[in-house]
Copies of this chain bind each other. A is one copy, B any other.
C-alpha cells in the first residue's frame, strides 16, 4: 500500500505502525493522536513517518485507515475521518468490543459501509502509550474480525492479509459472539483484578501488604495496571455481558464463602480441583 493512517498512537496503534513498517506493507505511515506529545514521540521513535495535525489530515489519501482509540471514542474518530474517505478507502479498528463499534459505525454513516472491517487483535500488555509499542506485539497472536452483513469481501481480505503480514492468525466470528467470549476471557478479569487491588489498597495495612506480595500476586494483578480510561470504555461498551458475568461470579464467590463458613472443605477442594483441571485441559491453547 502507498499510505496507511493510524488514528490513535497508543500501545496498539503504535505497535501496528511498527509492525507494518517491519513487514514493508506501506510506503508511508501517517499517524495522529489527540495528545501532541504522543505524536512527537512516535516521530522520534520512528514509529510513523508523519504525525498529522488532525485525524482528517492523517486520513487524507490513505488507502487504509486503522482506528486505534478507546472504544467509546470510535464514533468521534469516524466523524473526524469521514470527509477524507475515498470510494475505495478501507477503514478498520482494533477495539475490544465489536457490537458497540458496529453500532457507532451505523450511527455515523447511517449504514454499515462495505469497506468498514471490524477487528480485534488479542494482544497487548498492561502498558499504555506509544513508548511501550513493539513491532513484534502481534506475532503469533490471534486477531478476530467480525464481518457485518454489508461487508465487502475484498476489504475483509485486505485487512486479513495485513494482520497475517505482521504474523497474526486471523479468525472470523459474529460480533455478538465475540463480545460474549471476550466479556468472559478479558473484560470480567479486568474488573476482578481492579476490584481486588482496590480492596487491598483501601486496607489500613496496605503499606505492609504490598511489600509481602510474591509472584502469584504480581501476575494476578498485572492487568490492574492497564489504562483505566480504556477499560472504562470497554466495560461500559459491553456492560450487558460483563454485568451478567459479574453477577454470576459474585454468586459463585458467595457459594465458596458459604462452604468456608459451613466447614464444607471437600466441596471447596472440589471447586479448586475442577478449576485447575479446566485450566490444564485448555493450557496448550492459552500459553
Contact = CB atoms under 8 A, between A and B. Distances in A.
Contacts of A254: 250
A175 interface: no
A196 B185 contact: no
Interface stretch (A24-32, A79-87, A219-227): A219-227
A228 interface: yes
B272 A231 contact: yes
A100 to B, nearest CB: 13
Contacts of A182: 212
B269 A200 contact: no
Given A223-B220, A250-B253, A260-B242, A212 B268 contact: no
A274 interface: yes
Contact of A253 (B249, B273, B277): B249
Interface stretch (A1-9, A49-57, A109-117, A232-240): A232-240
Interface stretch (A37-45, A61-69, A122-130, A149-157): A122-130
Given A191-B256, A228-B273, A256-B246, A144 B212 contact: yes
The 9 lowest CB-CB distance pairs between A and B, nearest first, are A201-B278, A210-B282, A228-B272, A232-B269, A197-B275, A198-B275, A219-B219, A194-B275, A228-B273
